[in-house]
């Protein structure tokens, strides 16, 4: 589908029109592309990507913006150019057959140049003008100026012809890109073209500590604001991709949706029951504290919910990671086959910091994941300085937040007594939204694992240190067990639990004994009551008999007195 330059210009704030380059990231830092109808100079040393960048500018103009182009080469023949860019999917022969592109090779020989004072570029103007009119070109590339003027020693003529060339291109109304070689101590060898160009871009290819990185910088851009930093760029099978600094205004959208940790019992330590979607989570700890296992739980949980996940492993191969997690009941291979999980393993030293970031950016564009896991970020410390690592992580976190991608980092730190963060943690801890620490808790000759939450922005969380164990069935968080000197773990926990059971049994036995004693006393009491009752009844009966006898005696006495009368 073709895009319109006009629609882009109607929505931007520029005082003059611009031409979109189609190069990923370059339009962002130029704030709209190259100046339309004006020349742009791309300069740099050998192998830095000048020809490829200019060729990509032409091809993207044809395929995406319907703007035909002309590529005039003074070094490489047309066949060589077609072959060189075919591996990146650029089919020059087809574009030429469709009358969308003209590729012309101009051979310049010093022996054929006459410097009699009448030397000029009129022949080039005629040839270039014909090519432009043939396809109604909107974009033109001249590669390179050094080859065009290689036979000129007269600086006055050279400068005059350079001005004529740039002026002629402006009059034709084409957006021109001219490449030039970098000079000694100057931007270009002629030291003039950078002054007459409206936009100057410097490409650089450098090697620092055996790591190769290409960088781009906009030296000037007349009439327009632009990015002024150095930006790394990557050359791969899709061409050139430039990485700008993103989201400096911190205005990315946020979500209130909750994402589960996947670890049984860990969700309960957060008041909301998990992480916010689109947040950044850091799990840090020493070696062997199950950071990768927790990350695998999170990946498994997301894939179960049919959320696409990218797992960057800097220490294990995909096969090793899948095998290890299968031992605790996590089947990552199933998610890979279903297309919800991609595991990418490489050593950090394979590329520079920014190239890792560019690769991740391309994967986000192609795979469109909702979750990204990087395990561990501490390995990046071996590729760059603390400042470079932090700068890269800021860009990474910005990019992921803009795309509302939930990100899970792990970080390996060194054991220290006061658990202060090391360089890797310090580089990212203030940037992440949730920070969980796993650590060793040693005591009574054994080593146990503990987990606690340092921070979780936007939600309450537990302040407890929870011991956890790893079995064949996976991770299990244990309940808090307090002893006289604090939290008990491992053998101390088991000993304490055993003592509690013994104490409980003793208490129950004592209670049973007391119950039996009370029962006996109750029986004795009841027997005594029965005996007293019998005594009482005997006394009552005896009293009744006495009373009866007394009554009989009284009656008898009355009868006797009656007879005497």
Instruction: Give mean pLDDT, residues 204-218.
Output: 78
424 or 428, which is more confident: 428
pTM (whole model) above 0.85? no
Q: How many residues does the chain have?
A: 565
Tell me if 52 sits within 8 A of 235, measured CB to CB.
yes
Instruction: Give mean pLDDT, residues 179-206.
Output: 72
Model pLDDT, residue 135 = 93
Q: From residue 189, give the alpha-carbon distance in Å to each of 52, 192, 194.
A: 20, 8, 10
CATH number of this structure's domain 258-493, picked from the four choices 1.10.3210.10, 3.40.50.620, 3.50.40.10, 3.40.50.300: 3.40.50.300
Model pLDDT, residue 151 = 58
Q: Where are the domains of the chain?
A: 5-242, 258-493
Please state, for a pLDDT cut of 90, what percent of the chain lies above it: 28
User: Can 5-242 and 258-493 be said to share one CATH topology?
Assistant: yes
At 372-425, the pLDDT tens digits run: 999 888 777 666 666 667 777 777 888 888 888 999 999 887 655 444 455 556
**182 is written with which tokens?**
């970098």
Model pLDDT, residue 115 = 45
Confidence of residue 311 (pLDDT cuts 50, 70, 90): very high
In angstroms, the CA 295 to CA 288 distance is 13
Confidence of residue 14 (pLDDT cuts 50, 70, 90): very low
Model pLDDT, residue 399 = 81
* SS3 labels along 384-423: CCHHHHHHHHHHHHHHHHHCCCEEEEEEECCCCCCCCCCH
Instruction: Give the angle subtended at the CA of 316 by the CAs of 311 and 322, to the nearest 5°.
Output: 70
Instruction: Give mean pLDDT, residues 347-363.
Output: 71
* Class (C level, CATH) for 5-242: alpha beta
Confidence of residue 116 (pLDDT cuts 50, 70, 90): very low
Does the structure show a pLDDT above 50 at 313?
yes
Tell me if 255 sits within 8 A of 401, measured CB to CB.
no
Model pLDDT, residue 447 = 80
Q: From residue 19, give the alpha-carbon distance in Å to each of 6, 180, 242, 246.
A: 9, 21, 17, 21
Tell me if 487 sits within 8 A of 465, measured CB to CB.
yes
């Amino acid at each position: 589908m073709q895009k319109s330059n006009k629609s882009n210009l109607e929505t931007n704030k520029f005082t003059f029109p611009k031409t979109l380059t189609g190069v990923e990231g370059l339009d962002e830092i130029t704030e709209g592309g190259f100046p339309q109808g004006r020349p742009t100079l791309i300069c740099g040393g050998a192998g830095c990507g000048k020809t490829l960048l200019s060729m990509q500018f032409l091809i993207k103009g044809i395929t995406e913006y319907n703007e035909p182009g002309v590529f005039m080469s003074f070094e490489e023949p047309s066949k060589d150019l077609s072959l060189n860019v075919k591996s990146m999917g650029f089919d020059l022969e087809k574009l030429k057959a469709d009358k969308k592109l003209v590729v012309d090779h101009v051979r310049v020989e010093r022996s054929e140049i006459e410097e009699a004072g009448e030397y000029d570029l009129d022949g080039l103007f005629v040839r270039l003008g014909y090519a432009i009119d043939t396809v109604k070109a909107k974009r033109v590339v001249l590669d390179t100026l050094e080859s065009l003027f290689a036979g000129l020693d007269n600086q006055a003529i050279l400068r005059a012809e350079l001005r004529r060339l740039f002026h002629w291109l402006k009059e034709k109304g084409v957006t021109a890109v001219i490449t030039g070689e970098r000079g000694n101590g100057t931007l270009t060898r002629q030291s003039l073209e950078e002054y007459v160009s409206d936009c100057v871009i410097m490409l650089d290819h450098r090697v620092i500590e055996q790591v190769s990185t290409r960088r781009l910088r906009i030296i000037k851009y007349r009439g327009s604001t632009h990015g002024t930093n150095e930006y790394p760029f990557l050359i791969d099978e899709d061409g050139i991709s430039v990485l700008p600094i993103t989201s400096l205004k911190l205005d990315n959208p946020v979500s209130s949706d909750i994402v589960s940790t996947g670890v049984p019992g860990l969700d309960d330590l957060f008041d909301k029951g998990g992480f916010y979607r689109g947040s950044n989570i850091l799990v840090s700890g020493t070696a062997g504290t199950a950071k990768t296992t927790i990350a695998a739980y999170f990946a498994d949980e997301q894939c179960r919910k049919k959320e696409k996940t990218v797992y960057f492993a800097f220490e294990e191969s995909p096969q090793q990671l899948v095998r290890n997690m299968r031992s605790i009941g996590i089947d990552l291979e199933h998610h890979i086959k279903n297309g919800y999980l991609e595991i990418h393993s490489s050593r950090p030293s394979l590329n520079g910091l920014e190239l890792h970031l560019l690769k991740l950016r391309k994967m986000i564009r192609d795979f469109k994941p909702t979750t990204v896991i990087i395990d561990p970020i501490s390995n990046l410390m071996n590729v760059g300085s603390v400042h470079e690592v932090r700068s890269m992580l800021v860009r990474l976190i910005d990019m992921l937040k803009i795309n509302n991608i939930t990100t899970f980092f792990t970080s390996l730190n060194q054991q220290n007594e006061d658990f202060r963060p090391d360089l890797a943690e310090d580089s990212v801890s203030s940037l992440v939204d949730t920070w969980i620490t796993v650590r060793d808790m040693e005591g009574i000759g054994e080593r146990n694992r503990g987990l606690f939450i340092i921070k979780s922005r936007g939600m309450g969380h537990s302040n407890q240190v929870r011991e956890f164990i790893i079995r064949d069935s996976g991770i299990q968080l244990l309940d808090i067990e307090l002893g006289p000197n604090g939290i008990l773990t491992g053998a101390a926990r088991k000993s304490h639990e055993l003592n509690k059971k013994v104490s409980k049994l003793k208490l129950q036995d004592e209670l049973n004994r007391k119950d039996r004693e009370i029962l006996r006393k109750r029986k004795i009491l009841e027997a005594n009551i029965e005996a007293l009752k019998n005594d009482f009844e005997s006394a009552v009966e005896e009293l009744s008999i006495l009373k009866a006898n007394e009554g009989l005696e009284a009656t008898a006495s009355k009868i006797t007195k009656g007879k005497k009368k």
